Amino acid sequence: MKTLLIIGHTFPEPSTTAAGTRMMQLVDLFLKADYTITFASTALRSERAADLDLFGIKSVGIQLNDPSFDRFITPLSPTVVVFDRYITEEQFGWRVAEACPLALRILDTEDLHFLRKARQTAYEEKIAVQQAYLFTETAKRELASILRCDLSLIISEVEISLLQSVFSIPKTLLYYLPFLIDPPSETRIKSLPRFADRKDFMTIGNLLHAPNKEAVKELKHTIWPKIRQRLPQTQIHVYGAYANPELQTFHNEREGFIIHGWAPSVEEVMHKARICLAPLYFGAGLKGKIVDAMQYGLPVVTTAIGAEGIYNEDRSPTNVQDSVDDFVAASVELYTQENKWLELQQNGFHTIATRFRKEDHSEKFTKRLRLLLQQLKEHRNKHFIGQILQHHSLQSTKYLSKWIEVKNNLTGL
């Protein structure tokens, strides 16, 4: 029997975050490959966490710096362990390696955290994100995690290229696995609301996420006033969980700037709008809101960071603009010209079908898994640097954890 243990940074919230959607796509992929799945996390379940019981998945709470994890994983003896982001690999990777040395260890990066943080720092310091300083402590930690694992799932081709060209990470340790989507059928496409049946602008995203918070601020202070001046009857509808008090004060019906909070149905709100705005000036990975909009026939105006990893290079759309004036001009043009709107809508359907089709990626990935499981010893010997990084003299995270274990035990006496 094939068993999978997922160690989650949090319990997945597919209705609030792209990371949650991504995790549920991985869950579906492994279920269809006949894996029995256990999902473990140190986090508490939120009210919007997916009900994993509905999928036949056992959920387990685990503790940091506690030998109870060893007692939990040893009898489970998973075939594969997936770490949800490098932080969970730092915390539990050494325990998995010791208790279940034959388990295939996979890191799901979600996006490259060091890249996102470096770009955020550049943005805050008013430096072009292309000049962001990448050689940080976070980069050292995340790259070490990649090297320790047998395989790392990378969601963007841009990040694959960066890891290979800048950091010389072997291609055989990386696997390109983007969002996994069933493209809308022709019947579904024909049933979508038409240009004339839609109105207003919208944006959406988890508002705890720094790039999304900054995007809403950019819309409020610079972009939306210019659009509103040219289209005075329009509104922008802002959807997203966890808006802080500052963002909530942006609600102003007179200005047509409407803060809604969490949207229970992304599909429903995207079907109402005519244009999605995504002015993202830092970040990494793939942007879930843009891929969602493509599925629901909603054209998007975004930036180069927002579009990164989504479009084919030979189909670069005119809706990708970085300057405020060009962003506003593209937004107004798409809102008022149906032929441009239809062209971009069709480009979105084409992108989903050719780049993110679930069927195209799933088969290749399960085949790669089978080969790795058959050749795990040879694979690890080929990438011996990973075993060096597992060596006890370099395992600072392991010994910090063991020190906390002892401290906790002594405190409890």
Q: What is the reported pLDDT for 56?
A: 94
Residues 41 and 127 in one domain: yes
Which residue type is seen at 104? L
Residues 290 and 229 in one domain: yes
* DSSP class per residue in 222-279: IIHHHHHHHSTT--EEEE-S---HHHHTT-BTTTTEEEEE--S-HHHHHHH-SEEEE-
Token digits for 188?
């579904």
Residues 91 and 140 in one domain: yes
Residues 277 and 367 in one domain: no
Q: How far is CA 328 from the centre of its chain?
A: 27
Residues 140 and 249 in one domain: no
Residues 220 and 270 in one domain: yes
CATH code (residue 266): 3.40.50.2000
Residues 72 and 177 in one domain: yes
The range of the structural domain enclosing residue 242 comes to 186-355
The phi and psi torsions of 178 (rounded to 5 degrees) equal -80, -165
Q: Are strands 151-154 and 236-239 parallel, antiparallel or unpaired?
A: unpaired
Residues 336 and 362 in one domain: no
Domain termination residue (choose one: 317, 335, 355):
355
Q: What is the reported pLDDT for 413?
A: 54
Token digits for 226?
């210019």
Q: What is the reported pLDDT for 317?
A: 66
Burial of 380 (0-12, 13-18, 19+ CB in 10 A): middle
The helix (H) or strand (E) run that includes residue 315 is none
- The candidate with the shortest Cα–Cα distance to 130, out of 279, 280, 278, 282, is 282
- The candidate with the shortest Cα–Cα distance to 352, out of 321, 311, 305, is 311
- Please list the residues that pair with 105 across neighbouring strands: 81
DSSP 22: H
Distance CA 192, CA 130 (A): 38
- Per the CB < 8 A criterion, the answer to whether 158 and 309 are in contact is yes
- The candidate with the shortest Cα–Cα distance to 107, out of 161, 169, 165, is 169
List pLDDT tens digits, range 303-348.
999 999 998 765 556 799 999 999 999 999 999 999 999 999 999 9
* DSSP class per residue in 165-204: HTT---GGGEEE----B-PPPHHHHHHSPPGGG--SEEEE
How far is the CA of 138 from the CAs of 143, 236, 253, in angstroms? 8, 36, 42
Q: What is the reported pLDDT for 402?
A: 72
Domain termination residue (choose one: 318, 333, 355):
355
Residues 177 and 284 in one domain: no
Domain termination residue (choose one: 321, 340, 355):
355
The helix (H) or strand (E) run that includes residue 2 is strand 2-8
Q: What is the reported pLDDT for 358?
A: 95
Q: What is the reported pLDDT for 386?
A: 87
Count how many domains the chain has. 2
Residues 207 and 173 in one domain: no
Residue 123 makes CB contacts below 8 A (sequence gap 6+) with 129, 214, 281, 282
Residues 200 and 224 in one domain: yes
Q: What is the reported pLDDT for 316?
A: 55
Residues 141 and 197 in one domain: no
CA dihedral sign, ordered 350, 351, 354, 356: negative
Q: What is the reported pLDDT for 405?
A: 76
Q: What is the reported pLDDT for 392?
A: 62
Residue stretches of the chain with pLDDT short of 70: 313-317, 392-395, 399, 412-413
Residue 140 makes CB contacts below 8 A (sequence gap 6+) with none
List pLDDT tens digits, range 348-402.
999 999 999 999 999 999 999 999 999 999 999 999 988 888 876 556 777 677 7
